[in-house]
Amino acid sequence: MNEVTHQRIKTNGIWLHIAEQGTGPLVLLLHGFPELWYSWRHQITFLASHGYHVVAPDLRGCGDSDAPLSPSSYSVMHLVGDIIGLLDHFQQQQAFVVGHDWGALIGWHLCLFRPDRIKGLINLSVPHFDRNPKAKFVDSLNKIYGDGLYICQFQEPGRAERAFARYDYLTVMKKFLLITQTENLIAPPGMEIIDYLETPSRLPPWITEEELQVFADKFQESGFTGALNYYRAMDLNWELTAPWQGSKIMVPVKFLVGEKDIGFETNGVRDYVQGDVFRILVPNLEVVILDGHHFIQQEKPQQVSQEILSFLRKFPAE
């Protein structure tokens, strides 16, 4: 089998860096925050070895992809447009999409905006919620959690970047990628979230210092502004997605989440994922709860890879 190769592709007016391996049906792997294509290192080789053409981009603003300066260039319209451009580049009418964290949000919106281009979706960690017509997303969070919530702190351009700069890049990666506790996402009054997050004294067995350094080195090159701009476009997304209010996602979906994921443990998300409303919005849905935390594809690579493969194999070969 061929090795992982890298190239940059022009799509939707920007250049995206992609890692790819294998031949067969196209599978796109979309990462989250603060991550890169490298988050999928385990799944790329596994899926390629089972007969798939696997493509993992650095999403706009991250890694070796272009990073437009304006937060308004990070709306879900732009993000979905980038992925449609990748499909067009590979001359594929349809692809499978696997998304985690922000990549999951892109996956949900791909299915809302362009279901004709998606064969099936496997999303990790972030479920689909219907848009609240009465309040902007960040405003709602601010009223519930206050300024200590990381999403609220990320809104002001430059604020998080200045706070992150008090640490070396490897420490920032450790603070985010190794997060485990619910309260870690909300800093006490007057404290920045990066100061509140703990730096683990020992690494968990699923990631090495060298692997963390790969993330650190790339963010040292690019800075964090591109990745943070996703959060700064959240209320713009709320405005732009009004036409899809109440829309159902009819694409076949498998949703994977870690039992100890910080997002799964808070604000009724567990009940939502296991309840009826999620299934009304996503009728063709399978939910799998794994033993793990938020960055589940890195923490439990074999289980996640097998879950993805079992879903892909439900579709007839072309």
Per residue in 2-14, pLDDT (tens digit) is 799 999 999 999 9
CATH code at position 253: 3.40.50.1820
Domain of residue 88: give its range: 5-312
Residue 229 lies in a domain: yes
Strands 14-21 and 53-57: antiparallel
| 317 lies in some domain | no
Position 2 scores a pLDDT of: 78
Q: Of residues 17, 31, 231, 261, which has the active-site annotation?
A: 231
**Amino acid in position 310:** S
What was the pLDDT predicted at 90?
98
Tell me, yes or no, if 139 is annotated catalytic: no
Backbone angles phi, psi at 117, to 5 degrees: -100, -5
What are the Cα distances from residue 282, in Å, to 106, 246, 249? 15, 11, 5
**Position 209 in a domain:** yes
pLDDT per residue as tens digits for the range 165-181: 999 999 999 999 998 76
pLDDT of residue 183: 58
From the list 58, 82, 101, 261, the catalytic residue is 101
Overall domain count for the chain: 1
The verdict on residue 318 lying in a domain is no
pLDDT of residue 124: 98
- Give the Cβ contact number of residue 90 at 10 Å: 15
What pLDDT score does 85 carry? 98
Closest CA to 62 of 104, 107, 123, 17: 17
Peptide bond into 205 cis (omega under 30): no
- Residue in the structure block whose two tokens are 């009940």: 271
Domain-located, residue 232: yes
Query: Is residue 294 flagged as an active site residue?
Result: yes
- On whether residue 136 sits in a domain, the answer given is yes
Please list the ranges in the chain whose pLDDT falls under 70.
1, 181-183, 318
Stretch (H or E) spanning 226: helix 225-232
Can you tell me which residue has the tokens 């159902």?
248
For residue 101, indicate whether it is catalytic. yes
Within a domain: 301? yes
CA quadruple 68, 42, 270, 154: dihedral, nearest 10: -20
| Domain-located, residue 258 | yes
CB 64, CB 58: distance < 8 Å:
yes
